[in-house]
Structure 1
Amino acid sequence: MEKIQAGLQDASGFLPQWLIGVGVLVVAVLGALAAHRFLVALAKRAVGPRRSVAIAILDKTYGPTTLAACLAAVAIVTPLAPLNGDLSNALAHSFAVASIALIGWILIRSVDLAAARYLQRYRADIAENFLARKHVTQVRVFKRVTDTLIIIIAVSAALMTFNSVRQYGVSLFASAGAAGIIVGLAARPLLSNLIAGVQIAVTQPIRIEDAVIIENEWGWVEDIASTYVVIRLWDWRRMVVPLSYFIERPFQNWTRDAASLIGSVNLHVDYSADVPRIRQRLEKTVHESKLWDGSVVNLQVIDANSRTMELRALVSARNAPEAWDLRCEIREKLIAFLRAEMPQALPRDRADLALPSADHSLRPIGARS
């Protein structure tokens, strides 16, 4: 240590003192980066490719450990670097801000690792995955809210290390007047969505991959962030909705308690239609379909007007996409059946035509005089 200090003092005879100090810090940081990279590679080789969990932890923590290695190197060589007062104070302040950022980074990575570890016990690749979607929704929402709070606290702590910002913050909190009201009103949407996120995580009116109808659009819940929800619509569009929407306004959730759904197919037929025969054809068609879940099949006459009867076929499927496809299949095959085997059942118009008789009265066409 003394030899290093002596060598730096000798070099200060022909180089500026601040340049030597900066050079020492740069060399220390580069050495820390190289040593960190070597140690991480050595650790990955030691655990082997089969230890996927350990590899994932090393990858997730690579950024925070890199920053920690650099800060450790700077802390070690700072006493050796010939720095003047201003440069030393700036370095100390930067070190404090970087340390706060490192703590926040470590906390966020810890939350991510804990969430991933918790969700490993649940499988989302099965048909009845309600328990998995429930826990995925809760963990994601709580993780987003926690990450947001950690970032806000870390940024606030870093800003408070600056004298001007600290004084402004103290005066702002001390005033508690109009400025506080303005700040509260400006932050109300953010706070209301954060609180709504906690409510959704606890009560769960929606979960990840729930099928919902919102604003007359049908889609699936793709992501639940800290302040908004992303809905993946049926035509691959994305609808972004504030979290507070699902607390304050009504919407349809097709998979709240179960994924299976009952779909309806409405047909208009003539009064001469053989309804029992159509019902038999419906039952035969759904038994031949791979989309039917084997639970519900029914055909009823639900309405009648001056021209036609309205039939409603009810069929069930395992989930919303299969229910839609099954409805389309049933509609197509029933129409083909009516056209091919029961054409008299297709809707048609009737007219009663009459001609004047010899005594100027009206008689139907075809009637004998």
Structure 2
Amino acid sequence: MPWLTVLRPLAVLAAVAAAALLLDRTADRLVHRAAARHPASPAWPLLRRCRPPFLLTLAAMLLLGVEPGLGLAARRHEAVRHLLVLTAIAGSAWLASRIAALLLDTSFSSYAARRQDAARVRRVRTQTAMLRRVTVAAIAVVALAAMLMTFPGVRAVGASLLASAGLIGLVAGVAAQSTLANLFAGIQLAFGDMVRIGDEVVVVGDWGTVEEITLTYVVIATWDQRRIVMPVSYFAGKPFENWSRNDPSMTGTILLHLDHSTPVAELRQEFETRLRKSDLWDGRGCALQVVDTTPTTIVVRALMTARNASDAFDLRCLIREELVAHLRSAHPYALPRIGVAQAPVEPRPAVSPPAQPEPGGRVPPGRAGLPGMRDGDDRSGA
């Protein structure tokens, strides 16, 4: 009967959907019970992310098992089976990548909960993120290759290309030289412990925090909310400053140009008092010294320690402002001044007045004549 050809596939699909939902509900209840027994475990939120690929893979597998009972024609049978195989491969790869991320993230969370060393935690976090990306990329490549091999034409081409695999690998290596360089540099960066997520670095003159490390690039978040995206090969081949590789503590420095009459001992006591009142100072060390002199000023350097680079910058600004305010109110003469004096005026030589001609138009002899005339010149025309 014609209606049986439509009813049978619908009945089979409904049975598969009911079975998938039943298995999904059973797995969800088991996860909820386990989470109730161990609520502090970080695995449960990550495990719930595996639900979509699990449902997709389960449905594809069940449909592959009951596909012969659909009663499809031979041509449609092959097409539907091929589509289900592709779906099962894609779902399995998706589920495998989620499970790998679950295992790696759970291991990192357990390690971070036991360790108190922030530097080691950042190192493991960076390595875990790199391993997760490499694993997901490898799973995707294997799944794509498996899906392509399900096509008969691709299998034939693949068999013929095996003989020239060396030449193809050489050409691909030359074409993707920069990409492969970044890939291996990213692995070297993660496992060589040169830079980690959360490190404070100075790159090309900009200070910032490492926000993300991928297989090909590193993202630096600067203090003014900018993002600098650098290739991974830069960190593997060029020098850069890492301010928090082993210890995030920093030493801040300020320089003050003051008058020679500055009471340095009193200023040192004021500096130490201001530091003890500040929460930014970690208490490890401080010093105030006269490090240089000039013909008009002395150079006073103040050193102070802080827990990290951000606190060191804020502490430097605070102490500089407070010391200048103290000197301005208590010792205004200690601030640098510029001496100003009246410039000397050189005396000018006296100039005799020009000679006046006698009545008749002659200049008397022995008198200075007009400009351009010599003694004895007669300009009267006589």
Deviation string 1:106-134 (CA, Å, 9 cap, x unpaired) is: 33223212212212333479985122112
Q: 2:313 aligns with which of 324, 327, 338?
A: 324
Structure 2 counterpart of 1:31: 18
Q: 2:209 aligns with which of 220, 241, 247?
A: 220
Letter in 1 for 2:240: F
Letter in 2 for 1:297: C
Structure 1 counterpart of 2:60: 71
Structure 2 counterpart of 1:8: none
Q: 1:188 aligns with which of 173, 177, 184?
A: 177
Alpha-carbon separation, structure 2, partners of 1:25 and 1:87: 16
Identity fraction in percent: 36
Deviation string 1:84-125 (CA, Å, 9 cap, x unpaired) is: 222221223223323322332233223212212212333479
Structure 2 residue 278 is matched with structure 1 residue 289: yes
Alpha-carbon separation, structure 1, partners of 2:44 and 2:113: 23
Per-residue deviation, 1:311: 2.0
> Structure 2 length normalisation: TM-score?
0.80
Structure 1 counterpart of 2:219: 230
Alpha-carbon separation, structure 2, partners of 1:315 and 1:271: 23
Alpha carbons of 1:121 and 1:44: their partners in 2 closer, same or farther (altered >3 Å)?
closer
Secondary structure of the structure 1 residue equivalent to 2:69: coil
Gaps of 5+ in 1: 1-12, 361-369
| Greater mean alpha carbon deviation, residues 166-175 or residues 188-197 | 166-175
Structure 1 counterpart of 2:149: 160
Alpha-carbon separation, structure 2, partners of 1:295 and 1:55: 42
| Number of positions where the alignment pairs a residue of Structure 1 with one of Structure 2 | 347
Q: 1:56 aligns with which of 45, 49, 53?
A: 45
The structure with the largest alpha-carbon Rg is: 2
Secondary structure of the structure 2 residue equivalent to 1:158: helix
Structure 1 counterpart of 2:256: 267
Secondary structure of the structure 2 residue equivalent to 1:244: helix
Alpha-carbon separation, structure 1, partners of 2:78 and 2:260: 94
Deviation string 1:20-78 (CA, Å, 9 cap, x unpaired) is: 66535543443244324432443345446453446336413212321232023213321
Deviation string 1:333-358 (CA, Å, 9 cap, x unpaired) is: 01101111111121211245465699
Alpha carbons of 1:41 and 1:257: their partners in 2 closer, same or farther (altered >3 Å)?
closer
Alpha-carbon separation, structure 2, partners of 1:355 and 1:303: 33
Letter in 2 for 1:76: G
Contact map agreement 1:108 1:147 (CA 8 A) in 2: yes
Per-residue deviation, 1:318: 0.9
Q: 1:341 aligns with which of 320, 330, 335?
A: 330
Alpha carbons of 1:160 and 1:46: their partners in 2 closer, same or farther (altered >3 Å)?
same
Contact map agreement 2:200 2:243 (CA 8 A) in 1: yes
Deviation string 1:274-329 (CA, Å, 9 cap, x unpaired) is: 22322222112112211111112112233333433322211000111111111111
Alpha carbons of 1:356 and 1:234: their partners in 2 closer, same or farther (altered >3 Å)?
closer
Contact map agreement 1:21 1:83 (CA 8 A) in 2: no
> Structure 1 length normalisation: TM-score?
0.83
Q: 2:241 aligns with which of 249, 252, 260?
A: 252
Letter in 1 for 2:48: D
Structure 1 counterpart of 2:2: 14
Structure 2 residue 339 is matched with structure 1 residue 350: yes
